[in-house]
């Protein structure tokens, strides 16, 4: 039981294959009588046009590819959702693939998408090398999201990691904090390193250097961030404030702070998370705006497809620090 083709419809309606094609594609130059006859047969045979064939003919597909760490991460889920919304308006579908933070898997996902002839690729690059991308590029516009790669020749849409981390930590130093801990998720990520740079710069501005004991860029799961935080609180000289470098880490930190009843520790998160506004005190955060990043990336893709992209761009999506209480706690005297 195969799907009917243009040919089948044409035979059934007693017209040529091309006439059916015209009807299906809404051409106006078709005799009204033939048109209705064809439409009737299309309906009866349940004819569904085959995009594969169309795309093969056209030389390019009608989907755009999104390759990210994992769709289960709310940051990337929002980002991808925004990409889909913009893509859909342009009549493009969305395929996605997750890397699981593995650069070999990233390569295989990208390769699969290149074989599928996606129109363009939106990629959150892993920590690995990206020379291979040069090879797909001629055929395929690539827009990076969230982080750049060493080779600066790609379009990127991201936030100002260094600057925002600096702003957050300066927010804390302005309230007298000097022992400020840094809890991140994975030092291998360039974003974590940039946020760490901002952290150090803010401390340097108040003539302080970070106590290595307070710098924990490592955890990859919440529970680790919780453990790191518990460990920090148990130090001889514990931190008076904590900067969490991403929402995942922040959730772990928040858990530790609450289960040990330490609302006196100042706390700022890089990225919002559900219930951050509900905790006592509510969690001050730097907004990451994933959906703005996704929408901007997709707009950039459309520009490439239009041929209006011009020079390589490094787009910094504007964000802000939202004061909710936890970041405004003054240092204890």
**Chain centre to alpha carbon of residue 164:** 17
Q: Which stretch binds DNA (CB under 7 A): 16-24, 104-112, 184-192, 227-235?
A: 16-24
Q: Residue 77 Cβ, how far from its own copies at the closest point, in Å?
A: 4
Q: Which does 34 bind (CB under 5 to 8 A by kind): DNA, its own copies, none?
A: DNA
Whether the Cβ atoms of residue 322 and residue 287 lie closer than 8 Å to each other: yes
Residues 227-286 within binding reach of its own copies (CB under 8 A): 251, 254-255, 258-259, 273-275, 277-280
- What is the tally of helices (H) and strands (E) in the chain? 12, 12
Which range in 22-30, 155-163, 204-212, 292-300 contacts DNA by CB under 7 A? 22-30
Taking CB under 8 A as the criterion, the residue among 7, 44, 104, 111 binding its own copies is 111
Told to check if 94 binds its own copies by CB under 8 A, we report: yes
Query: Residues 141, 301: contact at Cβ < 8 Å?
Result: yes
With tokens 């094609």, the residue in question is: 21
Does position 104 interact with its own copies (CB under 8 A)? The reply is no
Cβ(140)–Cβ(120) below 8 Å: yes
The reply to whether 204 sits near DNA by the rule CB under 7 A is no
User: In the beta sheet, which residues pair with residue 158?
Assistant: 316
Q: Among residue numbers 229 through 258, which ones bind DNA (CB under 7 A)?
A: none
Q: Which residues contact 35 (CB under 8 A, 6 or more apart)?
A: 23
Which residue of 31, 44, 104, 135 would you call a contact of its own copies, by CB under 8 A? Answer: 135
What percentage of the chain's residues is helix, strand, coil (to nearest 5)?
45, 15, 40
The single residue among 26, 29, 91, 152 that binds DNA, judged by CB under 7 A, is 29
φ, ψ (nearest 5 deg) of residue 321: -95, 130
Q: C-alpha 156: how far from its chain's center? A: 11
Residue 302, helix vs strand vs coil: helix
Q: Which residues contact 102 (CB under 8 A, 6 or more apart)?
A: 126
Instruction: Indicate the residue among 170 and 265 with the shorter CB distance to its own copies.
Output: 265
Q: Quick one: which of 1, 43, 57, 311 contacts DNA (CB under 7 A)?
A: 57
Residues making contact with its own copies (CB under 8 A): 1-3, 46, 48-53, 55-56, 59, 61, 63, 70-74, 77-78, 80-81, 84, 88, 93-98, 111-117, 135-136, 138-139, 251, 254-255, 258-259, 273-275, 277-280, 291
Residues making contact with DNA (CB under 7 A): 2-3, 5-7, 15-19, 21-22, 24-25, 29-31, 34, 49-50, 53-54, 56-59
């Amino acid at each position: 039981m195969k799907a009917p083709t243009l040919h089948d419809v044409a035979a059934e309606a007693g017209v040529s294959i091309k006439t059916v094609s015209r009807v299906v594609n809404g051409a106006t130059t078709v005799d009204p009588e033939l048109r209705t006859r064809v439409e009737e047969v299309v309906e009866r045979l349940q004819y569904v046009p085959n995009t594969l064939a169309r795309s093969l003919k056209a030389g390019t597909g009608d989907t755009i590819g999104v390759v990210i760490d994992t769709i289960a991460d709310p940051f990337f889920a929002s980002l991808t959702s925004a990409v889909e919304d913009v893509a859909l308006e342009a009549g493009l579908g969305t395929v996605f693939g997750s890397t699981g933070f593995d650069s070999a898997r990233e390569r295989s996902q990208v390769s699969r998408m290149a074989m599928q002839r996606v129109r363009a690729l939106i990629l959150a690059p892993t920590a690995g090398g990206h020379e291979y991308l040069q090879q797909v590029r001629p055929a395929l516009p690539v827009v990076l999201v969230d982080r750049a790669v060493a080779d600066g020749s790609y379009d990127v849409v991201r936030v100002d990691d260094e600057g925002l981390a600096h702003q957050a930590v300066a927010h804390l130093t302005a309230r007298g904090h000097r022992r400020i801990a840094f809890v991140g998720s994975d030092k291998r990520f360039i974003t974590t390193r940039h946020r760490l740079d901002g952290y150090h710069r803010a401390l340097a501005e108040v003539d302080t250097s970070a106590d290595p004991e307070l710098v924990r860029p490592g955890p990859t799961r919440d529970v680790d961030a919780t453990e790191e935080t518990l460990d920090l609180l148990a130090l001889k000289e514990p931190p008076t404030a904590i900067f969490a470098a991403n929402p995942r880490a922040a959730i772990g930190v928040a858990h530790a702070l609450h289960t040990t009843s330490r609302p006196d520790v100042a706390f700022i998160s890089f990225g919002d998370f559900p219930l951050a506004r509900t905790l006592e005190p509510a969690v001050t955060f730097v907004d990451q705006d994933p959906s703005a990043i996704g929408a901007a990336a997709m707009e950039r893709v459309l520009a490439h497809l239009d041929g209006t992209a011009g020079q390589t761009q490094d787009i910094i999506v504007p964000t802000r620090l939202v004061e909710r209480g936890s970041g405004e706690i003054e240092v204890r005297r």
